[in-house]
Chains A and B, each alone.
Chain A
Amino acid sequence: MSPDLEVESLLGAYALDALSLEERRRVEAALAADPELRKIADLLDEVAAELAAAAVGDADRTPAGLWARIAAATTPIPVSRARGSLWRRWLAPALAATAVAAAAVLAVVAVGQHTRLIDFEESPLAAAAAAARNQQGSVVVALTGRVPAEVILAADGTGYLLTPDAPALTAEETYQLWAIVGDRVISAGILGPDPEVAAFHVSGEIAGFALTVEVAGGVVSSEQEPVAVGLIGT
């Protein structure tokens, strides 16, 4: 079975969340690169949405205290108060760059400079990242540190993180990407233990990105030293 047919055969189970993690990643990579496949998946998703709605009863009520916990987890906290000294050290240049409009570009690299080991023909998501790299308005940010990585950020906020040299983590760990937006740090994605290429979406005035290693499932606020950081000049 060709790769496309194999992915297409998985779309029904994908709509029902009935795939393994590995299969799901494969399907999502294919969907990101193939609009026709995306259309088929959307049609099946609509049916799955009806099945989901059917599981909701009129008597369902939100538990007491749930909103308070969500509110606490989503209230923006300024970087200067939220992070430990390690993060402040990493992010101080980003905040300074935000404040000074004419700051130099610190780590934006020219297109094509990064050494890539990813097979762009085999990975549809990598192919989508390569296409984004060449789009007008895209910026490419090199994240430097213990785990070198690269972010390709398209003008519409779609981003791709490439970590071809990142060591695979254990099943109890995950890479987590953070976006520095104004004076806040927000999670841009929980990427799993061995992402290689991951897609995400961010909005707002992005000053840079940081990559951390967290416990599986990710965290609301990191206390870990970033394994890589890259800043965008303003």
Chain B
Amino acid sequence: MPVSLRPCLCYHWAPMAAVTDEALAAAVAAGDHRALETVYGQHGAAVFGMARRVLRSQALAEEVAQEVFVRFWRDPGRYDPQRAPLRAFLLRDAHGRAVDLLRAETARRAREERDQSPASEEAPGPEHEVWEAVRSAKVKAALEGLPAAERDAIVLAFYAGLSYQEVARRLGEPEGTVKSRIRRGLERLRGPLLQEGTT
């Protein structure tokens, strides 16, 4: 697909608001490096911010952000413009990679701590800190509208990067119950989050 891209001889991105996500992805698929630079310019800060919220580490978040854009460059076909905006796709990818890295780091630290002390426990931080990751007032309001048990399960799973099994242990609930609460909670959030526009 032909895409008109402004020449750029530097590392600063050239704003091209008129170029659609689909055209940008097609240009990236065709090997146009300037298109990737534009995608980074539009979404790099958000991708990095997402990773930093989950990982609470600048260095690890940079690692994730780099991986997200390199993966997009190498395999742009993973993105389907019919299913989601490019920003949503990149943020979801960043979240997934951040969670993977968080679990690997947690496991590594737990191993190291076990070597030094018998009492080590994986702990992502208190709930109120996790809750602070939610920057959007609209999403915060939507989450507050959920039953507390569903909200806690979703917030711990998504913003603290816990598996549903870890959430269950943390909340002292059966795994199946937590799984169901996550599912029900997400279905309830569709209304307030998607029918009135996006954040």
Contact = CB atoms under 8 A, between A and B. Distances in A.
B22 interface: no
Given A13-B179, A53-B136, A157-B77, A67 B37 contact: yes
Nearest to A58: B135
A26 to B, nearest CB: 14
Contact of A16 (B48, B135, B157, B176): B157
Nearest to B83: A42
Given A50-B139, A74-B73, A55 B53 contact: yes
A17 B83 CA distance: 18
A66 B62 contact: yes
Interface in A62-113: 62-63, 66-71, 73-76
A52 B65 CA distance: 14
Q: How many interface residues does chain B have, given as a range?
A: 35 or more
Main secondary structure on B side of the interface with A: helix
A18 B140 contact: no
A125 to B, nearest CB: 16
Interface stretch (A114-122, A128-136, A161-169, A181-189): A181-189
- Contact-residue size bin, chain A (C-beta under 8 Å from the other chain): 35 or more
Contacts of A66: 44, 48, 62, 65-66
A203 B193 contact: no
A138 to B, nearest CB: 16
Contact of B69 (A47, A63, A74): A74
Interface in B31-53: 31, 33, 36-37, 40, 44-46, 48-50, 52-53
Nearest to A15: B186
A46 B84 CA distance: 8
A47 B91 contact: no
A49 B92 contact: yes
Contacts of A227: none
B26 to A, nearest CB: 9
Contact of A12 (B78, B92, B179): B179
B149 interface: no
B133 interface: yes
Given A13-B157, A54-B134, A56-B135, A47 B76 contact: no
A10 interface: yes
Interface of A: 9-13, 15-20, 42-57, 60-63, 66-71, 73-76, 157-158, 186-189, 200-204, 220
Given A53-B88, A73-B70, A220-B70, 16 more contacts: A9-B180, A12-B179, A12-B186, A13-B182, A16-B182, A18-B99, A19-B163, A46-B88, A52-B92, A54-B135, A55-B133, A56-B49, A57-B135, A66-B65, A70-B36, A70-B65
